[in-house]
Amino acid sequence: MIQQTIKQIADLLAGGKISSVELCQDYLVRIAAHNPGLNAFITVDAERTLAEARVADALRASGKAGPLAGVPIAHKDIFCAEGWLTTCGSKMLHNFVSPYDAHVIEQFKKTGMPCLGKTNMDEFAMGSSNETSYYGAVKNPWDTARVPGGSSGGSAACVAAGLAPAATGTDTGGSIRQPAALCGITGLKPTYGVVSRYGMIAFASSLDQGGPMARTAEDCALLLNVMAGFDTRDSTSLEREKEDYTRDLAKPLAGLRIGLPKEFFGEGLTGDTATAVQVAIEQFRKLGATTVEVSLPNSGLSVAAYYVIAPAEASSNLSRFDGVRYGYRTPDYGDLTDMYEKTRAEGFGAEVKRRIMIGAYVLSHGYYDAYYIQAQKLRRLIAQDFAEAYKACDVILGPTAPTTAFKLGEKADDPVQMYLSDIYTIAVNLAGLPGMSLPCGFDGQGLPIGLQLIGDYFSEARMLNVAHQYQLATDWHQRTPGGF
């Protein structure tokens, strides 16, 4: 069963071959057996999961169920879920039980998809390795001495290890795509505003976007059908008609123009990754696509721009965590100011503090114009680079990450090297474009390599079509780590 895709599981449920309760019980047994070694889940509540599964089975029995009713899913612990501990991977929220559901959680509940648990993540989604979590590092199932990527590392690891058929993630600078690449699964970041951010604990509001993580592009399309939609409670949610993201999956790729940015194939890219991506490009040519070189001249500055804009927004968003109304409060303090200072000093981890300080600095008097405004100008130039590139191509292709999974602790003391793990993904967030990662091979150590596709605004259906056709012709997405 753990080798089955969401589509296959849904078909088994529809045919009465298995019940949602039986399915969830199987996954809960696997979680109990393997999570102690992977640390992919922060919270598991078997009783609540099975109660939701019984509701899904009743829905199936009534004949009113949708196509995914009864299929279980794990949720990144950044999404508020009523009655569930929602920590955002931080000591600051170690005791916060959400009184309401995020829009994304609401959508999955309406569909009848039971929650298997809340997955581990970098604290407040700040990290590229899932090592900044208050609950400890997540391990990569392909090699437990290595990182799974971040910040959605728990979601990626649990799907790769077969502890869940799918999971939600969020992507601020690559946090769905990079862990998907490092764990050998498929992950999609939609166009900014397609998925509501209501109830998704904010890191950088102009960059954060929720998205699906699963084994295949087809599964991601089915999940995006559930997640996407206008929400009046989110001012950045886009009022658009609902789409069927599976509608173009079967289209052939003849006539597809693939853009290859020369900036994505230079210094810093490992040989194994470059080779795997080149082999994938040849496969797309066999499928009828043509390739053209394009240029994204400002993409090399995306990391610098991102680490001005994102910390600036984080310093504002995280100001609400002060120990007054909910979450952690220091047990020993004098006056109100002392309580604020000690609570935040004790409740936040080192990486969160670093970004808050950077953000406060670049927004301060005398530096706002020099740093923040300049970064926003560069952001516009990056978006214009993509717009120019799409005059010559339909989709952009390149590596998701410059390397495969690195060892736990290897970059922990070098923040700059850690930040460069997202060098190919960050520009997509700055421009608000959709992007996805899918497996395209392995390096010499048997670690997965991710291929990144970047589409124009609202081209998710076409991008998923491209990925699906590639996966029909290859079997990289079917490979699973040994021991799981």
Check if 175 is active-site: yes
Check if 295 is active-site: no
Among residues 7, 19, 20, 76, the one annotated as catalytic is 76
Kind of pairing, strands 166-170 and 115-119?
Answer: unpaired
Which residues partner with 454 through β-bridges?
396, 435
CA distances from 367 to 161, 215, 361, 376 (A): 46, 45, 7, 13
What is the rounded distance in angstroms from the CA atom of residue 45 to the CA atom of residue 27? 12
What is the rounded distance in angstroms from the CA atom of residue 408 to the CA atom of residue 425? 21
What is the rounded distance in angstroms from the CA atom of residue 476 to the CA atom of residue 428? 24
Residue with tokens 């001005």: 308
Contact predicate 202/319, CB 8 Å: no
Among residues 151, 237, 302, 315, the one annotated as catalytic is 151
The strands making up 448-455's β-sheet, listed across from edge to edge, are 41-43, 115-119, 73-76, 166-170, 210-214, 186-189, 435-442, 448-455, 395-399, 257-261, 290-294
Among residues 90, 129, 155, 175, the one annotated as catalytic is 175
Check if 118 is active-site: no
Residue numbers annotated as active site: 76, 151, 175
